[in-house]
Amino acid sequence: MAKQKFIDRLIQRMDSMDSSNLQSFLLKLYHEKGFLDTLLNAMQEGILVINRDLRIIYHNHAAAELLGLPEDLAGVRLSQFLTNVNWRKIMELDEEEWLRLSSQEVEIMYPVHRYVHFYLMPHGAEDGLGTVILRDITESRTRTLQELEAETDRAISMLAAEVAHEIGNPLNSLYLNLQLIQQELADDEIEFDRREAAEMIRIARGEVERLDNIINQFLHAIRPGHPKLIPLDAAELLIETLKFMNQEIDNRSISVNFSHPEVLPMISGDAGQLKQAFYNIIKNAVQAMPEGGVLAISSEFDADYVTLEFADSGQGISAEQLARLYQPFHTTKENGSGIGMMIIERVMREHGASISVQTREGRGTSILLRFPRIGRRLHILPQPPRNDETEEHD
């Protein structure tokens, strides 16, 4: 009977509404007790609806359990519970840009220490609301050694073909340049040009380094080691990676703009592993712009973190693809292995850093890496506050 009354009211209300008010009315139905509530509360994923002030408009039972939400949500903002999300970066978008999807893995300490996958899907500027989906991934973050070994075996078989394809071009270039040098040395009638020979050797050395990088990437994917952490300048590592990829970037007609402060605080990291992560991110961005485009890389810092942002003008990522971004062996590329983002996520995790993704299909993607500064202040996380005296955003 109650369900029938709800349906009758729903039909009556919808019949009296025009199309412009229909979406707003449907969002208000989140507050109705009935079938929709039952459906959402039966889900294992946490579901929240928030506004641009991060006020929680609706939440299901799973979200309350994951975050320890109080019964009274007056004066409560989501940023009080998900403190590791870069809310400032997300919320600085203009209302017209309130269409970008965001995805990130977040560590939370309250009410239980766990890891969750945070996924934000704004509804658009018209209503100013967004849906947040939270999925508990703690178990997957603590997989057993046997599972990792099985994953490695599968990775070897899938990556072998890709590695064989990748090493073909540098091997051909290396062979060609060595053959030209051999011809000049063997023919006594040809005057040996030392400058030309030196250039050929330089190109050959570059191709050897490229081969070495491909092999190291393969080995890191199937046999990752623990990072050897030392103080590093992230900007310097990025510049070195861009120099290494210069030819590939130029061949794609891509312009790279790298802006960073004159002095960037040091982070603790493994140079080889971070270069590998940067390489994968830049390569993904380059491949997302097959007709050319712009890759804007920037860095900033505050008292606790150093943040790097890689923003391309490419094809963007669909909502479906974003939800599966970190799943091993999931790829949208014809010859992709589906392991690149997994490597990036693993490197960030081992460095105590976080990675977040903002994208809009057809309008480009932005990858943000957030590293703890060396010597940053330690914060003891108290029970989340329950009033308006807290900071509005992270």
What is the per-residue pLDDT across 151-173, written as a single tens digit (0 to 9) for each?
656 656 666 666 666 677 777 77
pLDDT at 393: 46
| 376 — pLDDT class (breaks 50, 70, 90) | low
C-alpha span between 54 and 82 (Å, rounded):
11
Same domain, 53 and 92: yes
In this structure, what CATH number is given to the domain that contains residue 365? 3.30.565.10
Percent of the chain with pLDDT strictly greater than 70: 69
pLDDT at 148: 53
Question: Which of 81-85, 105-109, 292-296, 316-320 is least confident?
Answer: 316-320
In a domain, 68, yes or no: yes
Rounded to 5 degrees, what are φ and ψ at 230?
Answer: -140, 160
In a domain, 379, yes or no: no
Same domain, 110 and 184: no
What is the helix (H) or strand (E) element at residue 364, kind and residue range? strand 364-372
Same domain, 54 and 115: yes
Same domain, 52 and 121: yes
Instruction: Show the tokens assigned to 317.
Output: 């990522």
Same domain, 122 and 158: no
C-alpha span between 345 and 86 (Å, rounded):
17
pLDDT at 15: 66
Cβ proximity of 295 and 286 under 8 Å: yes
Same domain, 209 and 253: no
In a domain, 257, yes or no: yes
Highest mean pLDDT, choosing among 202-206, 232-236, 317-321: 232-236
User: Which residues, in sequence order, are CB contacts of 361 under 8 Å at separation 6+?
Assistant: 315, 316, 317, 318, 319
Question: Which of 66-80, 141-155, 269-283 is least confident?
Answer: 141-155
3-state secondary structure at position 125:
coil
Cβ proximity of 205 and 171 under 8 Å: no
In a domain, 299, yes or no: yes
**Residue span of the structural domain in which 65 resides:** 43-139
Residue 394 pLDDT > 50, yes or no? no
pLDDT at 250: 86
In a domain, 36, yes or no: no
Mean pLDDT of the chain: 77
In the chain, how many domains are there?
Answer: 3
Q: What angle do CA 123, 124, 130 make, to 5 degrees?
A: 35
In a domain, 178, yes or no: yes
What is the helix (H) or strand (E) element at residue 203, kind and residue range? helix 194-222
pLDDT at 348: 87
Sheet holding 293-301, edge to edge: 56-59, 46-51, 129-136, 114-122, 101-108, 354-360, 364-372, 305-312, 293-301, 254-259
| Higher pLDDT, residue 71 or 125 | 71
In a domain, 378, yes or no: no
In this structure, what CATH number is given to the domain that contains residue 125? 3.30.450.20
Same domain, 269 and 181: no
Same domain, 367 and 242: yes
What are 312's strand-pairing partners? 295
In a domain, 311, yes or no: yes
pTM to 2 decimal places: 0.60
293-301/254-259 β-pairing: parallel
| 367 — pLDDT class (breaks 50, 70, 90) | very high
Same domain, 241 and 161: no
Region 139-150: what's the mean pLDDT? 61
- Give the closest residue to 86 by CA, choosing from 106, 72, 101: 106
Look at residues 170, 190, 222 and tell me which one is the last residue of a structural domain: 222
Same domain, 211 and 255: no
C-alpha span between 142 and 139 (Å, rounded):
5
Look at residues 88, 122, 139 and tell me which one is the last residue of a structural domain: 139
Look at residues 222, 245, 276 and tell me which one is the last residue of a structural domain: 222
Residue 2 pLDDT > 50, yes or no? no
Same domain, 180 and 245: no
In this structure, what CATH number is given to the domain that contains residue 171? 1.10.287
- Helix/strand/coil (H/E/C) assignment for every residue in 1-60: CHHHHHHHHHHHHHHCCCHHHHHHHHHHHHHCCCHHHHHHHCCCCEEEEEECCCEEEEEC
Same domain, 340 and 236: yes
pLDDT at 330: 46
